[in-house]
Structure 1
């Protein structure tokens, strides 16, 4: 059987600025550290779910989804 855990990540980590194509751009880097840390503990990254999104479509935070096999009990 699989077990799942979720980890919230802010989508504005790592700074931001004006993009070359116009508009304000943001870059998220916190997800990389979270995925590496969880992988070291035996978790596998399986996807993300937007957690909070502005009316204009900008995603403020996401939940990273991790899974691993439960040890036999």
Structure 2
């Protein structure tokens, strides 16, 4: 059986520069979260936009993690 957890990551701590609110910008917080969860036995399974502006810029995402659990 699989167990799932979600971790919200802001997309406002960006690396890069843009005058257009996101064009050419890159998030970096997700990498730390995925590495940390991997050391705890979780696998990265994907992401879902959590908060998105009307113009399409994603402000936060939920990272999805899964791991095997013993069948009881």
What's the Cα RMSD here?
A: 1.6
Structure 1 residue matching 2:34: 3-state secondary structure: helix
Q: Return 5+ residue gaps in structure 1 as ranges.
A: none
d(CA) in 2 for partners of 1:9, 1:34:
8
The match for 1:6 is 6
Q: What TM-score does the superposition give when structure 1 sets the normalisation length?
A: 0.84
Task: Give the alignment of 1:43-58 within 5 angstroms.
Answer: 43-58=42-57
TM alignment of 1:1-73, pairs within 5 A: 1-18=1-18, 23-24=20-21, 25=23, 26-73=25-72
| Shift of residue 16, structure 1, vs aligned partner | 4.0
Equivalent pairs counted in the alignment come to 70
Runs of 4+ with deviation above 6 angstroms: none
Provide structure 2 residue ranges, at least 5 long, that are not aligned to the other structure: none
